[in-house]
Chains A and B, each alone.
Chain A
Amino acid sequence: MRVLGIETSCDESAVAIYDSEQGLLGHDLYSQAGMHAQYGGVVPELASRDHVRKLVPLIKQLLERTATCAAEIDGVAYTAGPGLVGALLVGASVGRSLAWSWNVPAVAVHHLEGHILAPMLEQNRPAFPFLALLVSGGHTQLIRADGVGRYRIIGDTLDDSAGEAFDKTAKLLGLSYPGGPELARLAEQGNQSRFRFPRPMTNRPGLDFSFSGLKTFAANTVREQDDDPQTRADIAHAFQQAVVETLVIKCRRALQQTGLTRLVVAGGVSANRQLRIRLRETATQLGSEVFYPGMEFCTDNGAMIAYAGWLRLKAGEQEPLAFAAKARWPLNALANNTDEQLTGC
């Protein structure tokens, strides 16, 4: 089965073709980050306007590049939420109508399910059940995944997400939006022992997070210190270390509490090198295995949507012609129609 995946939930227009026999045939992405950077963040209306200009050209280009003809596509998957509703509606309108005109089924994919399943595009795929740490721009969650569509959120952030904390702190350090990756680069030059940031909510039981205090702590530190490149790097280092250690402590706790032996880390922040190193160490200590998406599939992409869509199409799911986009869509409200796939992926 061959599935076209479409992702437009935020500021990336992305498409991919996944083939159940041959794997990922190709993917393309147009990032609007440069356009939004001048406003210090995503402007929803501009995001929607750009998606409607870029999406169909991306699809066309991908079909040409992968030498796929329309008749070879067996289904269309599009992100239907959660995300910016105007942006989502572009992917949903194009995806749903394209599927209809091709006379193939369409399926509405949950963006976060896409993120969580992204490591399954790699050679070494995690089997269910597993613990997922979802660390993205909008979310920081610990999720117990027992099968496709069977997710239970066991830890969540009370305020900012990890990616948001990265981006806001990066902004304080004068880096442009989205500053997460740049902050991580700057942190490499930082001095280990100059500053120590708190590890929020780690000295009490529970799996929830809170990152807004870290951002405030960073703001105060920036204000109190001289503004020179080394200080900025030192602050970046201390901040990153605090986020990473906090995530590591909660993952360790969650693995121990659930008895799960597989950890999946997904979402944009899972691209962070320090996080990957530290989580691997921890998993090894606990005798667990950790799985990551490929670097290009950490942030939003079409491949994860095509893959998640394939699983759901295979299970017989299908959207009616009446389509919708959902700004809110709790992950644990997802229908599970895919029980028989439990071992199949």
Chain B
Amino acid sequence: MKILAIETSSEACSAALLINDEIRQRYQFAPQKHAELILPMLESLLAEAQLSLNAMDALAFGRGPGAFTGVRIASGVIQGLAFGADLPVVPVSSLAALAQQLHRETGETQLLAAFDARMKELYWGAYEVDADHQLVRLVGDEVVCLPEQVPLPTAGAWHGVGSGWCAYAAALNERLAPRLSGWMGDERYPRAEEVAQLALSRFKKGLAVSAEHALPVYLRDNVVRQPQSDIAQEKREGNTAIKKPL
């Protein structure tokens, strides 16, 4: 089984090639550099393994939530590759990928992944680890909400991970205190390696989609601020309202 995966929803950019039980990865912390880095990363992975894109069984991508522009780069790149090479795509939650990473590193089995979503909110998902496969499984729904309003997990010893924990440490600690065993914040970002790992099991379950359905999941949908009647001026000046795309 061969899966090529990418994850560009955060400040980090990564690509991974899964061949059976082995995963190789390219990873770089590189804000705003995803478009520049992602295809060269894929090319170098394939070259190292002496494989062509057509030899893949599936493609996978971190479908968000995360930075809008980053998530769309992943979706756009994967749609182009999947359409061109006629491959199925497995969309994987970027929150789940980060939870999986923490599980792998620490062995924690109850995980609360949170990304800073700006505007005082965070993207949130609770995950438990399936003992058979050692893979995370979503509990409840992924949401975008205020830190004071995150869904309370069942009793247990939950472990937090992600940039949201740095941004809203006090509020989250207060809300989750009795159920929280600890958290790790900023230095971890979702990675293609876990995207590939999670994609493998989803692919086996028949959860792949075709190229045009490899779409982002934003969670935040109230994105209309001001009517953009000055779009022409923006175009001339080259600034757009999506400079800070979270």
How far is the CB of B49 from the nearest CB of chain A, in Å? Answer: 16
- Whether, in the assembled complex, B159 has its beta carbon less than 8 Å from a beta carbon of chain A, the answer is no
Given contacts A60-B212, A94-B76, A102-B84, contact A139 B228 (CB under 8 A): no
Instruction: Report which residue of B212, B225, B237 has the largest number of chain A beta carbons within 10 angstroms of its beta carbon.
Output: B212
Task: State in angstroms the CA–CA spacing of A93 and B43 once bound together.
Answer: 15
What residues of A have a CB within 8 angstroms of the CB of B79 in the complex? 52, 55-56, 93-94, 97
Q: Which of A81-89, A196-204, A284-292, A307-315 is near enough to bind chain B?
A: A81-89
Mark contacts of B224-246 with chain A using CB atoms, 8 A cut-off: 1 yes-contact digit, 0 otherwise: 11011111111111111111010
Docked-complex contact B80 and A96, CB < 8 angstroms: yes
| Contact (A83, B235) CB under 8 Å given A43-B228, A89-B35, A93-B80 | yes
Q: Are B229 and A171 in contact (CB under 8 A)?
A: yes
Q: Chain B residues near A41 (CB, 8 Å)?
A: 227-231
Name the residue of chain A whose CB is nearest to the CB of B69: A86
Complex contacts, B77 vs chain A, CB 8 Å? 93-94, 96-97
- Chain B neighbourhood of A167, CB < 8 A: 232
Residues on B with C-beta less than 8 A from A323 are 35-36, 39
Does B223 contact A45, Cβ atoms closer than 8 Å?
yes
B198 within 8 A of A: no
- List the one stretch of A122-130, A157-165, A251-259 in contact with chain B: A157-165
Instruction: Give CA–CA (A282, B69) in the complex, Å.
Output: 47
Residues of B within 8 A of A102 (CB): 84
Chain B residues 186 to 215 lying within 8 A of chain A, measured CB to CB, are 211-212, 215
Distance between Cα atoms of A90 and B85 in the complex (Å)? 19
Stretch of A17-25, A232-240, A324-332, A336-344 lying at the B interface: A324-332
Mask for A71-111, Cβ within 8 A of B = 1, else 0?
00000000000111110011011111111111000000000
Query: A39 vs B75: C-alpha distance in the bound complex, in angstroms?
Result: 26
Interface residues on B, range: 35 or more
Residues of chain A within 8 A (CB-CB) of B228 are 36, 39-44
How long is the Cα–Cα vector from A78 to B199 in the complex, in angstroms? 30
B68 contacts the other chain (Cβ, under 8 Å)?
Answer: yes
A41-B230, A86-B68, A321-B43 given as contacts; is B83 within 8 A of A98 (CB)?
A: yes
B211, B229, B232, B236: residue with the most chain A Cβ atoms closer than 10 Å: B232
Complex CA distance for A53 and B234, rounded to whole angstroms: 24
Distance A328 CA – B237 CA, assembled complex (angstroms): 7
B229 near A137 (CB under 8 angstroms)? no
Q: Could you say which of A82, A86, A90 contacts B245, with CB atoms under 8 Å apart?
A: A86
Supposing A40-B229, A86-B69 touch, asked if A96 and B242 sit within 8 A by C-beta, the answer is no
Contacts A40-B229, A85-B240, A97-B39: A46 and B224 contacting too (C-beta < 8 A)?
yes
Residue B40 lies at the interface, judged by CB distance under 8 Å to chain A: yes
Residues of A within 8 A of B232 (CB): 137-138, 160-161, 163-164, 167
> Inside 8 A of B215's CB, which chain A residues have their CB?
52-53
Residues of the B chain whose Cβ atoms lie less than 8 Å from the Cβ of A138:
231-232, 235-236
Contact of A48 with B80 in the complex, beta carbons under 8 Å: no
New contact pairs (15) apart from A97-B39, A98-B80, CB-CB < 8 Å: A36-B228, A41-B228, A42-B231, A43-B225, A44-B241, A48-B72, A49-B223, A52-B215, A56-B79, A83-B235, A100-B80, A137-B232, A138-B232, A163-B232, A167-B232
Residues of chain A at the chain B interface (Cβ within 8 Å): 10, 36, 39-46, 48-49, 52-53, 55-57, 59-60, 70, 82-86, 89-90, 92-102, 137-139, 160-161, 163-164, 167-168, 171, 177, 320-325, 327-328
- List 4 A-B pairs, minimum CB-CB distance, nearest first: A101-B84, A93-B76, A97-B80, A328-B238
B residues at A contact (CB < 8 Å): 35-37, 39-40, 43, 53, 68-69, 72-73, 75-81, 83-85, 211-212, 215-216, 218, 223-225, 227-243, 245
